[in-house]
Copies of this chain bind each other. A is one copy, B any other.
Amino acid sequence: MAYDVCIIGTGPAGLSAAINFKLHNKSVIWFGSKDMSLKVQKSEKIANYPGVPYVSGPELNAKFMAQAEEMGLEITDKMVTNISAMRKGFMVLADNEIYEAKALLLAIGAFTAKPLPGEAEYLGRGVSYCATCDGFLYKGKTIAVHCGAEKYEHEVEYLAEIADKVYLSSGYKGSKVDLPNVEHLPAQLGKVNGEMKVTGIETVKGEAHDVDGVFILRTAVAPTTLMNGLEMDGPHIIVDREMKTNKKGCYAAGDCTGRPYQITKAVGEGNIAAHSIIEYLAELDKQ
C-alpha cells in the first residue's frame, strides 16, 4: 500500500511539514536522521527564530527532536538514492528497499557538492551511494571510497570487511579509519574513470588507481541524481509559491529551493508545502 506522502529530509522544513501531515491524519514515510538536522545542530547561535530567542543550534535541534517524538512522528533512518515518478505517485528507493507514495516532499537541504567527473555517468555501473546496498558485489575486489562525513566511517569499515583493498578519500580532517587493507589517499577523490563500467579513479592531484567500484558516501545526493528531469536553477530546485516543482505531486521546501538558507524560511516553506500537498491529495481522492 502506498503512503500518502514521502518526506525526504529531517531538517526544519521536513519537520514543519511532518507536523502538519500528522495533524491531518496523512500516512507518512519520513526519511532522514534520528538526529534531525546536522546543520541546525552545528549552528552556534540562532538569533532570528521567532518565538525562540537567542537559542544555540543544539538546543533548537533538541526542541525539534522532542517535538517530533511528542507528536509520535516516526523517522526512517535510510538513505534515499533514487526516485521514479510513476503514473500515479512515486517509487522511492531507500537502502535498496522500495517505498511507494502518492506525493513527495523534497526537504533535502542545500546541495553544494559538485558531482565528480564520471560520477553520474557510471552510477549503477560501479559507482554506488550505498554501502549496505551494493557492498556485497565487491567481495575480494578493489574499491575506492569517498567518505564525506565522520558518521559514514562505520560504512567504510563494513566495506573494508568485504573488499580486498580499499582506497579511502575523506571529505574532512582526522579520519579514524585504521585498517590494514585501507589505504588513505593523500588527496581527495577527483574523478571516476571507466569504459562501460568503472575501471579506476584519480585523486584531485592526479594519482591514479585501478578499482572495480567506487562508493561515494555523502550526506546529500544531487536532486537531479535523485530524480530525473527535476527542473533546477543552478543548485536549487525550482518551485512556485505553493512549493510545487515541475513534477506533478512533487514539492520541495527549505534550503534546497534556494536562499536565504534560514531555519525560519525552511519551516515556513515546509508549512506551505504540507498544505499544498494536503490539497493535492484531496484532489487525487476525487479522481
- Partner-B contacts on A (CB < 8 A): 12, 15-16, 19-20, 23, 47-55, 60, 63-64, 66-67, 70-71, 239-241, 258-260, 262, 264-272, 275
Partner of A64, one of B50, B262, B271: B50
Q: In the complex, what distance in Å separates the CA atom of A50 from the CA atom of B64?
A: 7
Q: In the complex, what distance in Å separates the CA atom of A50 from the CA atom of B70?
A: 12
CB–CB A275/B262 < 8 A: yes
CB–CB B50/A15 < 8 A: yes
Partner of A239, one of B52, B66, B71, B241: B241
Q: In the complex, what distance in Å separates the CA atom of A52 from the CA atom of B267?
A: 12
Known: A239-B241, A268-B271, A271-B268. A50 touches B262 (CB 8 A): no
Q: What would 8 more interface pairs be, CB under 8 Å, given A51-B52, A51-B267, A268-B271?
A: A53-B70, A239-B241, A264-B270, A264-B271, A265-B272, A267-B268, A268-B268, A268-B269
Q: In the complex, what distance in Å separates the CA atom of A241 from the CA atom of B237?
A: 12
CB–CB B271/A258 < 8 A: no
List B contacts of A55 (CB < 8 A).
51
List B contacts of A240 (CB < 8 A).
241
Jot down 26 A-B pairs with beta carbons below 8 A, ordered by A. A12-B50, A16-B48, A16-B264, A48-B271, A49-B51, A50-B267, A51-B55, A51-B63, A52-B52, A53-B66, A53-B67, A240-B241, A241-B241, A241-B258, A260-B271, A260-B272, A262-B271, A262-B272, A262-B275, A264-B270, A264-B271, A265-B268, A265-B275, A267-B267, A267-B268, A268-B272
Q: In the complex, what distance in Å separates the CA atom of A48 from the CA atom of B23?
A: 8
Among A12, A48, A55, A66, max chain B CB count under 10 A is at: A48
Q: In the complex, what distance in Å separates the CA atom of A228 from the CA atom of B38?
A: 46
List B contacts of A264 (CB < 8 A).
16, 267-268, 270-271
Q: In the complex, what distance in Å separates the CA atom of A77 from the CA atom of B11?
A: 37
A214: shortest Cβ distance to chain B, in Å?
Answer: 37
Closest to A267 in B: B50
A254: shortest Cβ distance to chain B, in Å?
Answer: 10
